[in-house]
């Protein structure tokens, strides 16, 4: 198959891939630590009352974080900040940053105070299945109050992340979650065992982790000459514009999190349900965070700059590139997660209080979520394109429709499939959401290079054949039915992944894949040995 012609924006594509690679590497480190964290949590808590209480309580500030901080703040702030940075003076740009910082701090502090007072009511709404269990209800309320201040720190961390990413500084923001996971791991190993109720120590670790994510980014802000000043000016034109974009984007970019929250509410009716959904989504978030979120984070400043300059041809090309890269990475990851779900859950979590039955239930949730992994990842790129155009209303309308669909599907599927039905409803609603948005975006942009995207997806589909064969072989090994032998199990899972990657990359190389070429040139530029061989 002959190679495809170079894109006129090839240098920009390599720059985006480089930034995504940096973010992905940092996210990979965070995800590895996150797996260590989850393994320790599963070993300590299992699928007990304390575990259910913790995951429901954590969902409350985490949802608000997605809505007010990493979701809407990033998507609304970066396009406006980029516009100021591109078209206005440095003084005006930093004044906008200080005004946004002060306004955000004031809002999230008020929300936190309200949350502390209304914690019991929030738990009552979000965990109706706990109503007949006074112990679980009380513990969840206490944990919610402990973790609510996390919202303040993670919101400020999201704002500083938006500033640094707009300036194409990605390292410190991407490393923030690493410190978050370190704080929780330390709390599990050191603080929790010293308390009569260990889960309280883990909740304190969550708050410390949020603070660490904010503090780690401050040197990068100061290095660029910005010291946040108290400038409470919600009437600032830039702040008003951010506010206008934030209101509808509260649903747009965070539809997945809203659907997960709906699932958490309904999962409270099933013993262990919130815990199984949490661990199931954690495994889905591993490839999603490393590749999907990393690429969306890296591509937003470029799209915002192109939109601010009115360079629509470049913007269309960048959107097509983003979709091709998502397909290139996510399709083999999806196959791996689906067919290796039981070995992965067994190897990572089936220790201590986490039983074989818990493994089966969690693997069912992983399967249901995994069929929608492509939609979870792709929607990040599509919604990011809307936000670069400073259009947050369209994704919001689509999000509302998807959320309603999720609720209907959840009620239909939860009876026959229990908690796995809730996960499947989330995946199906995400598919519907991205389908609607892709159609509208194609119309808005006057077309996308769908021929190139479909060609890339076809190549990726054929290249996943060795991935499928390797996964089926590994999953069928007798070692998974034997006790212990953890080293052998780890080796076999690693061998399977290695064979999958080798086969996939080999076939993509035969196709002269443009996406593989971008990644290979990136490796050559950043790995000394490969650079010397070029």
**Domain contains 196:** yes
Q: What's the number of CA atoms in the CB half-sphere (13 Å) around residue 68?
A: 25
CA nearest to 155, candidates 23, 66, 253: 66
Convert 186-201 into a string of H (helix), E (strand) and C (coil): HHHHHHHHHCCCHHHH
Query: Quick check: 73 and 162 in contact, CB under 8 A?
Result: yes
Enter the tokens of residue 292: 């999907």
Query: Quick check: 210 and 62 in contact, CB under 8 A?
Result: no
Backbone CA torsion sign across 486, 489, 493, 494: positive
Using alpha carbons, list the distances in angstroms from residue 442 to 18, 251, 316, 470: 26, 21, 9, 37
Query: Quick check: 169 and 223 in contact, CB under 8 A?
Result: no
DSSP state of 235: T
CA distance 431 to 352: 37
**Domain contains 301:** yes
What's phi and psi for 310, nearest 5 deg? 75, 20
CA nearest to 202, candidates 185, 216, 214, 218: 185
Query: Quick check: 199 and 49 in contact, CB under 8 A?
Result: no
H-helix or E-strand spanning residue 312: helix 312-339
CA distance 232 to 335: 50
Enter the tokens of residue 339: 């067919």
The number of beta carbons lying within 10 Å of the beta carbon of residue 263 is 30
pLDDT for residue 26: 64
CB proximity list for 235: less than 8 A, separation 6 or greater? none
CA distance 246 to 154: 17
CA nearest to 186, candidates 176, 178, 175: 178
**Domain contains 245:** yes
Helix segments in 254-389, DSSP class H: 255-267, 273-287, 294-309, 312-339, 341-349, 356-370, 373-388
**Domain contains 109:** yes
Query: Quick check: 160 and 212 in contact, CB under 8 A?
Result: no
CA distance 112 to 191: 24
pLDDT for residue 18: 59
Give how far the C-alpha of residue 221 lies from the chain's centroid of Cα atoms, to the nearest Å. Answer: 24
CA angle 129, 36, 43 (to 5 degrees): 50
Q: 71: domain range? A: 12-533
The number of beta carbons lying within 10 Å of the beta carbon of residue 521 is 17
pLDDT for residue 17: 55
pLDDT in tens, the chain (534 residues): 444 455 555 555 666 655 555 665 666 677 778 778 888 888 887 777 888 888 888 877 776 666 655 556 666 777 787 788 777 887 888 888 888 889 888 988 998 999 899 988 888 887 787 777 888 888 989 999 999 999 899 888 888 887 887 777 767 777 777 888 899 999 989 998 888 888 899 999 999 998 998 888 888 887 877 767 788 878 888 888 877 777 666 655 556 666 767 777 788 788 888 888 888 888 887 777 666 666 666 676 677 777 777 778 888 888 888 888 888 888 999 999 999 999 999 988 887 778 888 999 999 999 999 999 999 888 878 887 887 787 878 888 888 888 889 999 999 999 999 889 999 999 999 999 999 999 998 988 888 888 888 999 999 999 999 999 999 999 998 888 887 888 888 899 889 889 998 999 999 999 888 888 877 766 555 444 444 444
**Domain contains 5:** no
**Domain contains 7:** no
pLDDT for residue 528: 45
Convert 510-524 into a string of H (helix), E (strand) and C (coil): HCCCHHHHHHHHHHH
DSSP state of 292: I
CA distance 382 to 370: 19
Q: Is 280 helix (H, G, I), strand (E, B) or coil?
A: helix
Query: What is the secondary structure of 385-434 as a DSSP string?
Result: HHHHTT--HHHHHHHHHHHHHHHHHHHHHHHHHTHHHHHHHHHHHHHHHH
Helix segments in 148-197, DSSP class H: 150-166, 171-186
Report the domain count for the chain.
1
CB proximity list for 441: less than 8 A, separation 6 or greater? 319, 382, 385, 386, 448
CA angle 334, 335, 336 (to 5 degrees): 90
**Domain contains 2:** no
Convert 42-103 into a string of H (helix), E (strand) and C (coil): HHHHCCCHHHHHHHHHHHHHHHHHHHHHHHHHHHHHHHHHHHHHHHCCHHHHHHHHHHHHHH
Kindly report the pTM of this predicted structure.
Answer: 0.69
H-helix or E-strand spanning residue 29: helix 10-45
**Domain contains 3:** no
């Amino acid at each position: 198959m002959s190679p495809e012609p170079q894109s006129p924006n090839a240098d920009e594509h390599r720059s985006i891939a480089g930034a995504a690679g940096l973010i992905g590497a940092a996210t990979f480190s965070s995800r590895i630590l996150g797996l260590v964290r989850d393994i320790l949590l599963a070993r300590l808590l299992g699928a007990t009352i304390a575990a259910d209480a913790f995951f429901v309580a954590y969902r409350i500030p985490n949802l608000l974080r997605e809505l007010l901080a990493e979701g809407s703040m990033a998507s609304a702030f970066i396009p406006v900040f980029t516009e100021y940075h591109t078209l206005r003076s440095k003084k005006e740009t930093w004044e906008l940053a200080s005004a946004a910082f002060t306004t955000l701090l004031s809002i999230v502090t008020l929300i936190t105070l309200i949350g502390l007072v209304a914690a019991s009511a929030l738990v009552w709404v979000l965990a109706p299945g706990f109503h007949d269990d006074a112990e679980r209800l009380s513990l969840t309320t206490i944990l919610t109050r402990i973790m609510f201040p996390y919202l303040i720190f993670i919101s400020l961390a999201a704002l500083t992340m938006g500033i640094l990413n707009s300036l194409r500084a990605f390292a410190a923001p991407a490393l923030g979650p690493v410190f978050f996971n370190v704080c929780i791991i330390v709390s599990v190993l050191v603080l929790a065992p010293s308390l009569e109720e260990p889960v309280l120590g883990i909740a304190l670790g969550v708050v410390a982790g949020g603070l660490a994510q904010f503090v780690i980014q401050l040197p990068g802000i100061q290095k660029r000459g910005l010291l946040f000043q108290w400038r409470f000016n919600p009437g600032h034109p830039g702040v008003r514009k951010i506010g206008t974009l934030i209101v509808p984007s509260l649903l747009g970019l965070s539809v997945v999190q809203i659907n997960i929250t709906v699932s958490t509410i309904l999962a409270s009716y099933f013993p262990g349900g919130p815990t199984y959904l949490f661990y199931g989504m954690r495994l889905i978030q591993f490839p999603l965070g490393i590749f999907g979120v990393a690429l969306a984070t890296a591509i937003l400043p470029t799209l915002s700059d192109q939109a601010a300059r009115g360079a629509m041809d470049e913007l269309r090309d960048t959107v097509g590139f983003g979709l091709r890269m998502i397909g290139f990475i996510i399709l083999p990851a999806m196959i791996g997660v689906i067919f290796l779900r039981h070995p992965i859950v067994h190897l990572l979590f089936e220790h201590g209080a986490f039983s074989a039955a818990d493994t089966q239930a969690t693997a069912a949730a992983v399967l249901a979520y995994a069929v929608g992994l492509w939609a979870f990842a792709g929607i990040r790129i599509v919604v990011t394109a809307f936000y670069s155009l400073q259009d947050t209303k369209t994704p919001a309308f689509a999000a509302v429709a998807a959320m309603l669909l999720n609720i209907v599907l959840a009620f239909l599927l939860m009876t026959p499939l229990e908690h796995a039905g809730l996960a499947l409803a989330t995946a199906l609603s995400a598919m519907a959401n991205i389908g609607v948005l892709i159609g509208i975006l194609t119309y808005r942009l006057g077309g996308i290079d769908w021929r190139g995207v479909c060609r890339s997806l076809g190549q990726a589909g054929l290249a996943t054949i060795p991935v499928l064969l390797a996964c089926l072989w590994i999953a069928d090994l007798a070692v998974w039915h034997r006790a212990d032998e953890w080293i052998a199990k780890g080796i076999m899972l690693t061998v399977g992944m290695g064979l999958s990657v080798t086969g996939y990359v080999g076939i993509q190389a035969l196709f002269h894949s443009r996406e593989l070429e971008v990644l290979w040139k990136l490796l050559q530029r950043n790995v000394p040995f490969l650079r010397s061989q070029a």
